[in-house]
């Protein structure tokens, strides 16, 4: 099996860093989020097939969108509550 390309490696590391950054505002806290993120990435560390790695990257991007939606929903609810109180 050929080793992974440096570009794929950079993509994986970039999405990991983005998810870590988003995890700071995770509703259950960063201490809950970080070990689970690390475990999820380490479970797929043995992947060598480029198609499987790309599929993992797409799954990580989906999770990223879900976390962003949680963040914006939280912000929206806070703004809505302030608006209704006024």
Mean pLDDT over each residue of the chain, to the nearest integer:
86
In angstroms, the CA 10 to CA 16 distance is 10
Report pLDDT for 13: 95
In angstroms, the CA 63 to CA 51 distance is 19
Confidence of residue 1 (pLDDT cuts 50, 70, 90): very low
Report pLDDT for 86: 60
Report pLDDT for 28: 86
Domain ranges of the chain: 6-85
Cβ–Cβ contacts within 10 Å for residue 33, how many?
Answer: 19
Confidence of residue 62 (pLDDT cuts 50, 70, 90): very high
Q: What is the mean pLDDT of residues 14-27?
A: 91
Express each pLDDT in 3-17 by its tens digit.
Answer: 568 899 999 999 999
pTM: 0.77
């Amino acid at each position: 099996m050929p080793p992974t390309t440096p570009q794929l490696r950079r993509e994986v590391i970039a999405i990991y860093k983005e998810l870590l950054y988003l995890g700071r505002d995770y509703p259950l806290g960063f201490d809950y989020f970080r070990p689970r993120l690390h475990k999820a990435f380490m479970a797929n560390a043995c992947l060598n097939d480029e198609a499987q790695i790309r599929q993992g990257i797409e799954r990580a991007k989906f999770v990223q969108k879900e976390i962003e939606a949680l963040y914006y929903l939280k912000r929206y609810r806070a703004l809505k509550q302030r608006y209704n109180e006024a």
